[in-house]
Amino acid sequence: GQSLEQPSEVTAVEGAIVQINCTYQTSGFYGLSWYQQHDGGAPTFLSYNGLDGLEETGRFSSFLSRSDSYGYLLLQELQMKDSASYFCAVLYNFNKFYFGSGTKLNVKP
């Protein structure tokens, strides 16, 4: 499998910007994805980076640097509904995803 590291918990206030980092092993790496999961719900897809650089989707952006084996998810204009767990996941050998341990984001008023 793969080893991915991300912070266990992050706290921020409404309207702020938060960055969740993810580092991974390079063996078999094809791309990096991010997923959001609310308590009691299934993970939902946020973004995928197959190439280096920044991908932007509304308030969420994701970045990948293959040379540094590193990526991040950037959440802007935080809202209370963004409180959830965020997982980075590596696409391994182009056919399956391995997930990081998850980052619990707490958004405070």
Partner 1 sequence: SAVISQKPSRDICQRGTSLTIQCQVDSQVTMMFWYRQQPGQSLTLIATANQGSEATYESGFVIDKFPISRPNLTFSTLTVSNMSPEDSSIYLCSVHVRGLTDTQYFGPGTRLTVL
Name the minimum Å distance from CB 62 to partner 1. Answer: 11
63 counts as binding partner 1 under rule CB under 8 A: no
What is the C-alpha separation between 89 and 31, in angstroms, rounded?
A: 8
The two three-digit tokens of residue 71, written as one number? 């990526």
Residue from the set 20, 33, 72, 78 that interacts with partner 1 by CB under 8 A: 33
- The minimum distance between CB 9 and partner 1, in angstroms, equals 11
Nearer to partner 1, 43 or 82 (CB): 43
Q: How many secondary structure helices (H) and strands (E) does the chain include?
A: 0, 11
State the Cα torsion 15-54-9-87 to the nearest 10°. Answer: 120
User: Under the rule (CB under 8 A), what is the footprint of partner 1?
Assistant: 1, 30-31, 33, 35, 41-45, 47-48, 50, 87, 89, 91, 95-102
